Amino acid sequence: GKAGFSTVVNPKCAASDPEQHKSAREDIKEILRSKFCHPIMVRLGWHDAGTYNKNIEGWPQRGGANGSLRFEIELKHAANAGLVNALKLLQPIKDKYSGVTYADLFQLASATAIEEAGGPKLPMKYGRVDVFEPEQCPEEGRLPDAGPPSPGDHLRDVFYRMGLNDKEIIALSGAHILGRSRPERSGWGKPETKYTKDGPGAPGGQSWTVQWLKFDNSYFKDIKERRDEDLLVLPTDAAFFEDPSFKVYAEKYAEDQDAFFKDYAEAHAKLSNLGAKFDPPQGFSLDESPTSGTPEKFVAAKYSFGKKGMSDSMKQKIRAEYEAVGGSPDKPLPTNYFLNIMIVIAVLALVTSLIQN
C-alpha cells in the first residue's frame, strides 16, 4: 500500500515471543510519554477488534483482532480516519520485534495506553495471528457510528453482533474519558476548546472530559451533569442516561469508580480477544504470575488503581507475609499483626539487654 507499511508474511509469525512483547511494551510507554497519544492507541486496538461478527465462523472472515487494520483498504474506512497516525508511531516497534504480530501490537498498545493513563490493570493475553493480505480485511460498516438516528439501537446492533452485552457497552464507553473528537476526522466536536487549545500533543478538538489523558470515571459524571458546553456529548453518549438498561450501569459508574474499573478491565480484555486466532491456542500472559486455571480471588493485585502500581513480585511477597499469619489483604487480620511484631521486638530487646547485663 502507499502508506508503506510492511506487509511481508512472517513465516514464523506463530512463534510469538513473550520477551519481545515485554520490550515492545516498554517502547510503547516511551511513545506515550513523549507524544501523549494514549487515545489514538486505544482506538487503534478497538477498531482492529471491533469488526468482529459472532455469526461468522471462519477466520479471518469473522473480523476481529487480526491485524487487518494495517492495510490501506481498511485504514480508509470512514470510522478509521486518523488511525494511520497511530500506525506510523508503531511501525518502528514492529520492525524491531519480529516476534510480535501486528494483531498483538495493536492490542498491546491499546492496553498499555489505558494502564499508563491511570486505568486498571487489564487481564490481557497475547499470541494473536495476523492476516497477511488486504483481501482478508472485513467490509466497511462494522464499527459504531457517532450520530445514528436511534443511538441506543445502533450501539446494540453493533456490540451485540460482537457478542458484547449492555454492561460491556457502557463500561467500554467509559474510555471516551481519553481523548478528543476532531471535526476534521469524524465531523463531530468543536475545532478547539479551552481544555484542548494548548494540547498536550497536537492542539485542538473537543474532549468529553476536562482531563482527557487521565483515566477515571469522570466521563459518566460529566455526561450526567452536562453543565459545561466545552465538553462533548455525542448522541450515543446521551443515550446512556436515557435508555433504561444503559442507565443502570451509567449511574453506577458515575457513583462508583472501583466498579467501573473492574467491569472496564474485563470488557476491554474481552474486546481485545474478539475474533482472534491464538498460537498457542490458549495465548500467553505477560504478567509475572503464571495464569492458573483457578479463578483469582486476590483482586487488589489485579486492579492496581495507582498510576505506578507495585511490582507483582512485591505484591506476592506482601501477600505471603499476610497469609503466614492467617490473614489476607482482602480482610482485616484476626490480630493486630504489626503491633504483635513490635511487642516481640521489644521483648527481644529486653531479653538481650538482660543477658548482656
Catalytic residue positions? Answer: 47
Reference 302, options 330, 324, 322, 276; nearest CA is 330
DSSP 173-216: HGGGGS-EE-HHHHS-S-S--TTTTT-SSS--SEESSSSTTS-S
d(CA 120, CA 260): 9
Q: Terminus-to-terminus CA distance in the chain, angstroms?
A: 86
Burial class (CB in 10 A: 0-12, 13-18, 19+), 210: middle
d(CA 45, CA 272): 7
DSSP 114-155: HHHTT-PPP---B-BPPP-SGGGSPPS--S--SS-SSHHHHH
DSSP, res 328 = B
d(CA 233, CA 213): 17
Half-sphere exposure of 73 (CA within 13 A, CB side): 11
Residue 277 parent element (H or E): none
d(CA 83, CA 182): 12
Reference 112, options 283, 175, 267, 120; nearest CA is 120
Burial class (CB in 10 A: 0-12, 13-18, 19+), 146: middle
